[in-house]
Amino acid sequence: MAQKITPASVDFSRWYTDVVQAAELADYAPVKGCMVIRPYGYALWENIQKALDQRFKATGHKNAYFPLFIPESFIKKEAEHVEGFSPELAVVTYGGGKPLEEPLIVRPTSETIINAMYAQWVRSYRDLPVLINQWCNVVRWEMRTRLFLRTTEFLWQEGHTAHATAEEAMAETLRILEIYRDFAENEAGIPVIPGRKSESEKFAGAVESYTIEAMMGNKWALQAGTSHFLGQNFAKAFGIQFLNRENQLQYVWQTSWGVSTRMIGAIVMVHGDDQGLRLPPRLAPIQVVIVPIWKNEEGRAQVMAMAENILSRLSQEFRCHLDDREELSPGYKFHDWEMRGVPLRIELGPKDVQKGQAVLVRRDLPREENRSSVAIDGLPTAVQDTLDAIQRNLYAQALRFREENTFYPTTYEELREAVAKGFALSYWCGSADCEAAIKEDTKATIRCIPLQQDGKPGQCVYCGSEAKEKAVFARAF
Amino acid sequence: MAQKITPASVDFSRWYTDVVQAAELADYAPVKGCMVIRPYGYALWENIQKALDQRFKATGHKNAYFPLFIPESFIKKEAEHVEGFSPELAVVTYGGGKPLEEPLIVRPTSETIINAMYAQWVRSYRDLPVLINQWCNVVRWEMRTRLFLRTTEFLWQEGHTAHATAEEAMAETLRILEIYRDFAENEAGIPVIPGRKSESEKFAGAVESYTIEAMMGNKWALQAGTSHFLGQNFAKAFGIQFLNRENQLQYVWQTSWGVSTRMIGAIVMVHGDDQGLRLPPRLAPIQVVIVPIWKNEEGRAQVMAMAENILSRLSQEFRCHLDDREELSPGYKFHDWEMRGVPLRIELGPKDVQKGQAVLVRRDLPREENRSSVAIDGLPTAVQDTLDAIQRNLYAQALRFREENTFYPTTYEELREAVAKGFALSYWCGSADCEAAIKEDTKATIRCIPLQQDGKPGQCVYCGSEAKEKAVFARAF
């Protein structure tokens, strides 16, 4: 049954939930704060995983797996870390029918348990760098659930590396940030602003946190990936030391970094429209759907034979699906696949078969301009070209939207107006007081201090004192 | 530093742990009962995942993800299920700093939480079959840890399907068992006996459990995968009903099935020897290691240039590694990669380069017969042929070993002797009393009633009464 989607302009939050549920990406679980990722949503996650994992491996990282449970005492070893995570912890107190001597924390992130192992494994500079990533579930207690965006349990990857020098660790931090940027822009079609977090917004336990920030369809920001320079904080807490080439005992320098199933929420909110999802071809579980159209049995036989022929040819290169459901009209099917965000539809009727052609319908363009007829023999090339064009266009549309809704206020009054309608890029003096006052007044936070700056000094948009860098201010998920 | 491996003949259990740790497959975690899967072990798991996942998808299954936490009341809904799992549960009683109203169970398996969702999703025969698989972590409280074989947390896949008829569900149960057999034999090189579990050994909540059973190097059995016909047990407990074509409300028929990281333990124990691991080429993280050999700088330059050339040619088709570590001798490297079970080593010295050849060394053969010289131009073909031969030979060796250590006792005295030295295939009348008496006396359990039977009746090896089928009796992990 077709589900009704609340228009985004009426209620963005309901629009989001309607799209996620109607497209069967995810569902609420009967466990407070948790979600079920349904097959269509999980297939999208698998494509995200593949694209990221390939990039991690190409830069020398290896996957491993560390325990779900962390002894409470470990979490407490890094002071800022425990303070940051304490309110969000799920605690196991019974195991095998007995109360535990030491409670176990269900990992909210794995710095502590992983670094306890690194302390055992790292002895010499020859053991460095350690470049390990983990794909897993993590738990942070949430009272309010928003599918993919805020759930008690979510899936992610968390990279944890150890290096001989601060410079190498910082280079790794930024290498991963660049991988995230490249992934977001070129795979997910989401333009992002790579930048540094302010002191108050950084990861609990990091020296510096870096982020990629994206603008969602309601003009709020979403943090789509983070990469942290941890300095020697965890190395000192867990005693991760190595003998360097000069035979001196040194603490390692570390990073950690992650992208989660939140990325799916970002894809929905950046590209989706009132008809439902619009998925970037490179990540779409189904890139091409073939919808056969017929009125009588003779037409049906002709059309289905050709549709299956097309399916088998295109399936060698593309993720294709032939919608051969008997009881549904073509119109219902069009609507259904539009709602699920399939980038390209191939319509095939008896007349098309006679003419040796098919109709391509693009999900990314308005109805007036989204159809074209293509010779069946030329389909593989036409489909490739069209998918490439859709990928580029989704990115271009999102970039234009962000640019149209980014403002450059120089006075506080302008800033207040700007953050009510989009991103504000303004000079900030670096003071936590100015940052807090702006947040208190407007609910906008500093999303990041962009890596790209024009190098000229200016005046803080709040206090007017000298500022070296601009920051992005915005409301955020 | 090379770690010493206890000979298997001295202490099989220590041999196993030594191999797993020396090869850096896994390590003990500082959390009771838990392990860390290290990058080399995880790479093996990734190859297992790929091979299984491909087979699941080719037969119409899709992956999804369900919550880690299960409300305690759900676990209690299926009577046999809760009884089977109660002693093994880990329980979360605090979340977000507060005691929970209802404790949450960390999933030991996901029948209950998944079927609660199926009850919401399934309405009509059109929604069937539901063919979903999940890759995830599960927790069953263990006091004694054996890496990969018995740990509080482990990784696995669990398939959960729902069907309109009992016949379809039974066909699915056996289809998956066949996938497991095919995977074990053709990818892992492990001969298995597919069969049915006895009533006392079946999964808590199943109507029938099927298994693939393999013989380990100490002649004990290991259950390497299970596929369960659940009947309507969970359907009735969770109310999963659908309207059939005749518009009647029916309960679905279900299956569940799983393979876990235990499979890694099986690979170690079936193929390993006193030098360490021996990995089947199709699953080995590194299929070919190239070890360059030189005595002076001139030789070094020549050999390294050719080694890199060979690496780049072979890497297109095989998972290759060039061991260019400077400070280690060739002999150390040979030993190191043998211990890690790399199926094929290519040795390359200055004389080889001059002659345009390289030396192939197989891990699966005794030292007297494992070397051959091959022209460098012919390497891709020679490597492919040799890896195929190694894959076949590992399977053949394991099959021969099982056959040599399988006995066919017809008297109880013979059975007692047989299970002390291997597998016993004997008639069993089906009585739980006979089964329990044998277990009590010999510690051997019924591993399975093989699917393949000769159809002739016989006499129960314990009580002498009429028996229709033979069962495999053995000690087991």
CATH number at residue A323: 3.40.50.800
Residue B35 shares a structural domain with residue B144: yes
When pLDDT is cut at 50, 70 and 90, the band that residue B2 belongs to is: low
CA–CA separation, A48 vs A283, rounded Å? 7
The burial of B68, by beta-carbon neighbours within 10 Å (0-12 exposed, 13-18 middle, 19 or more buried), is given as buried
Q: Do A364 and A315 sit in the same domain of this protein?
A: yes
Chain A: residue nearest B28 by CA? Answer: A117
Report chain B's mean pLDDT, rounded to a whole number: 96
A87: in domain: yes
Residue pointed to by tokens 């360097």:
A244
In a domain, A392, yes or no: no
Residue A84's pLDDT band (cuts 50, 70, 90): confident
Cα dist from B251 to B128, B174, B233, B321, B339, whole Å: 12, 21, 10, 54, 53
What is the tens place of the pLDDT at every residue in B364-417? 999 999 999 999 999 999 999 999 999 999 999 999 999 999 999 999 999 999
Is residue A136 within 8 A of residue A158, CB to CB? The reply is yes
From chain A, pick out residues whose CB is under 8 angstroms from the CB of B327: 126
A146 and A192 inside one domain: yes
Residue B64 · residue A73 · CB < 8 Å? no
Instruction: Look up the domain containing B227 and give its range.
Output: 12-271
pLDDT at position A4, please? 86
Q: What are the pLDDT digits (tens) for A399-443?
A: 999 999 999 999 999 999 999 999 999 999 999 999 999 999 999
Place A2 in a pLDDT band, splitting at 50, 70 and 90: low
Q: How far is CA B212 from CA B109, B161, B191, B284, B472, in A?
A: 19, 20, 9, 22, 11
Same domain, B302 and B440: no
Option in B38, B96, B97 nearest A64 (CB): B38
Separation of alpha carbons B150 and B107, rounded Å: 16
Any domain includes A5:
no
Instruction: Read off the pLDDT of residues A166-213 as tens digits, 9 standing for 90 and up.
Output: 999 999 999 999 999 999 999 999 999 999 999 999 998 999 999 999
Q: Where are the beta strands (DSSP E) in A186-319?
A: 193-196, 208-215, 221-231, 241-243, 249-251, 253-260, 288-292
Q: What single-letter DSSP state applies at residue B187?
A: T
pLDDT over threshold 80, residue B423: yes
The Cα-based distances of A434 to A441, A444, A445 in angstroms read 11, 12, 11
Residue A158 half-sphere exposure toward CB, CA atoms < 13 A: 18
- Is B59 a domain residue? yes
Mean pLDDT of chain A, nearest integer:
96
Q: Do residues A89 and A141 touch, judged by C-beta distance below 8 A? A: yes
Find the DSSP H helices in B231-378: 233-238, 262-271, 297-314, 330-339, 350-355
CA distance B426 to chain A (A): 36
Supply the pLDDT for residue A53: 98
Phi, psi of A320 (to 5 degrees): -120, 155
Q: Using the beta-carbon criterion (under 8 Å), do B95 and A89 form an inter-chain contact? A: yes
Question: Is residue B161 domain-shared with residue B265, that is, in the same domain?
Answer: yes
Q: Domain for residue B393, yes or no?
A: no
| A63 lies in the same domain as A207 | yes
Burial class (CB in 10 A: 0-12, 13-18, 19+), B28: middle
Secondary structure percentages of chain A, helix, strand, coil, to 5: 40, 30, 30
Nearest by CB to residue A64, choosing from B37, B71, B132, is: B37
Q: What is the number of H-type helices and E-type strands within chain A?
A: 14, 25
Does ipTM exceed 0.90? yes
| Helix axes A39-58 and A262-271, enclosed angle (nearest 10) | 110
Q: Which of A92, A115, A137 to mutate to test the interface with B (most CBs of B within 10 A)?
A: A92
- Residues contacting A64, CB < 8 A, separation 6+: A132, A133, A134, B36, B37, B38, B39, B41, B42
Does residue B86 register a pLDDT over 90? no
CATH number, domain at A466?
Answer: 3.30.110.30
DSSP class of residue B25 equals S
Residue B1: pLDDT over 50: no
Residues B320 and B371 in one domain: yes
Our count of domains for chain B comes to 3
Closest residue of chain A to B46, computed from CA coordinates: A63
**By three-state DSSP, how is residue B117 classified?**
helix
CA distance A157 to A139: 13
- Integer angstrom CA distances of residue A91 from A94, A107, A151, B85, B152: 9, 9, 17, 20, 16
Beta-carbon pairs below 8 A across chains A and B:
168
- Global pTM? 0.97
Are B183 and B62 part of one and the same domain?
yes
Q: What CATH number does residue A220 fall under?
A: 3.30.930.10
Q: Which H or E element spans position B406?
A: strand B406-407
Kindly determine whether residue B137 and residue A68, on different chains, have CB atoms separated by under 8 Å.
yes
What's the CA angle centered on A125, arms A123 and A126, to 5 degrees?
Answer: 90
Cα-based distances in Å from A424 to A403, B142, B300 = 11, 54, 59
What is the H or E stretch that residue A26 is in? strand A26-28
Indicate the angle between helix axes B297-314 and B379-404, nearest 10 degrees.
Answer: 80
Does a structural domain hold residue A257? yes
What is the amino acid identity at position B4? K
Characterize the bridge pairing of strands B445-450 and B469-474: antiparallel
In a domain, B163, yes or no: yes
Q: What pLDDT is recorded for position B3?
A: 66
In a domain, A100, yes or no: yes
C-alpha to C-alpha distance for B40 and B25, rounded to whole angstroms: 5
